[in-house]
Amino acid sequence: MWECKETHPKKQFSAKIGTIMEDSPIGLDKWLVAIWMIANCKNGVSSYEIHRELGLTQKSAWFLLHRIREAMKVGSFFKAGPSGDQFEADETFVGGRSKFMSKARRAKTIKGSGTAGKETVMGVLRRGTKTEPSKAVVEHVPNRRKTTVQASVRKVAPVGSAVFTDALKSYDGLASDYVHEVVDHAVEYVRDNVHTNGMENFWSLFKRTLKGTYVSVEPAHLNAYAIEQTFRFNERKGDNRDRFRKVLGAIEGRRLTYKELTSHVSTAA
């Protein structure tokens, strides 16, 4: 801690002030190791692993990881002027499979058939070039209705660019502003360069992280886990130091309190 010579309410301060680490009793040595781990572990890192490796309580490790995810909200907005960029838009459902649930849990969670009881995640991927890898923007959305999915596309893709989707009716109408091509997965998965395989690849990585590492994720926190996986995907061509520096460079001016984080749900992985 340092003390400012001027007279004002916050005379004492530390290097953590104004960052995601503000008011944290955890030392910088542990914060920096945790940032390195979550930025570079391909399938994420659970709060239990941080708890074991850094000697923190699981609760503190869970809170620490969520604060780091706040700093991972960097470099994911695409929209610019008209260009020749190509985009893929797709959505997926996240939620436990009923066959793995107990009878009581299944009755409580699954209120219908098909996608009932699952959360919707929407993604838009900008295809890569010879000099730049593909990048994605992913968010947890309330549904996959027309207004919802088209808003996600319009938010990041410049008007006039090519947009490839599946045959979901919610995408109807994009052709008024985009070169919209559709691939019907009931018939084919690829037609020339018309496909959504880039987003499908992202979904496989994202779900591997959720199922293999985090296991139990509350819907209220799902967007944070999507942001984490999006960061690693978008920065995959960099090395470990690049990803570490990028997260570290975004810790300032972001704050997440435990009260805000837990105002809707209990802690999970």
- The pLDDT of residue 161 is 93
Look at residue 245 and tell me whether its pLDDT is greater than 70: yes
Are 46 and 24 within one domain?
yes
In a domain, 80, yes or no: no
In a domain, 63, yes or no: yes
- The pLDDT of residue 235 is 95
Find the domain containing 201 and state its range. Answer: 86-220
Are 125 and 216 within one domain?
yes
- The pLDDT of residue 104 is 72
Are 125 and 62 within one domain?
no
- The pLDDT of residue 195 is 97
- The pLDDT of residue 10 is 62
State the CATH number of the domain containing residue 110: 3.30.420
In a domain, 125, yes or no: yes
Instruction: Quote the number of domains for the chain.
Output: 2
- The pLDDT of residue 201 is 96
Look at residue 139 and tell me whether its pLDDT is greater than 90: yes
Distances, alpha carbon 51 to alpha carbons 19, 76, 92, 137, 163, in Å: 22, 30, 31, 30, 43
- The pLDDT of residue 82 is 59
How does the average pLDDT of the chain come out, rounded?
Answer: 88
**Which of 164 and 255 is assigned the larger pLDDT?**
164
Are 117 and 174 within one domain?
yes
Are 70 and 129 within one domain?
no
Q: Which long-range contacts (CB under 8 A, 24 or more apart) does 99-103 make?
A: none
Are 145 and 71 within one domain?
no
Instruction: Kindly report which listed range (11-15, 65-69, 71-75, 243-247) carries the lowest average pLDDT score.
Output: 11-15
Are 51 and 113 within one domain?
no
Are 25 and 120 within one domain?
no
- pTM here? 0.86
Q: Is 136 exposed, middle or buried (0-12, 13-18, 19+ CB in 10 A)?
A: buried
- The pLDDT of residue 263 is 87
In a domain, 232, yes or no: no
Mean pLDDT of 76-97: 79
240: confidence class by pLDDT, cuts 50, 70, 90: very high
**Which of 131 and 121 is assigned the larger pLDDT?**
121
Are 94 and 214 within one domain?
yes
Q: CA end-to-end span of the chain, whole Å?
A: 32
Are 13 and 53 within one domain?
yes
Query: pLDDT > 90: what percent of the chain?
Result: 72
| pLDDT digit string, tens, across residues 38-59 | 999 999 999 999 999 999 999 9
Q: Three-class SS string for the chain?
A: CEECCCCCCCCEECCCCCECCCCCCCCHHHHHHHHHHHHHCCCCCCHHHHHHHHCCCHHHHHHHHHHHHHHCCCCCCCCCCCCCCEEEEEEEEECCCHHHCCHHHHHHHCCCCCCCCCEEEEEEEECCCCCCCCEEEEEEECCCCHHHHHHHHHHHCCCCCEEEECCCHHHCCHHHCCEEEECCCCCCCCECCECCHHHHHHHHHHHHHHHHHHCCCCHHHHHHHHHHHHHHHHCCCCCHHHHHHHHHCCCECCCCCHHHHCCCCCCCC
- The pLDDT of residue 135 is 94
8: confidence class by pLDDT, cuts 50, 70, 90: low
- The pLDDT of residue 5 is 62
- The pLDDT of residue 216 is 84
Are 71 and 107 within one domain?
no
Instruction: Kindly report which listed range (14-18, 129-133, 219-223, 248-252) carries the lowest average pLDDT score.
Output: 14-18
Are 184 and 90 within one domain?
yes
- The pLDDT of residue 215 is 87
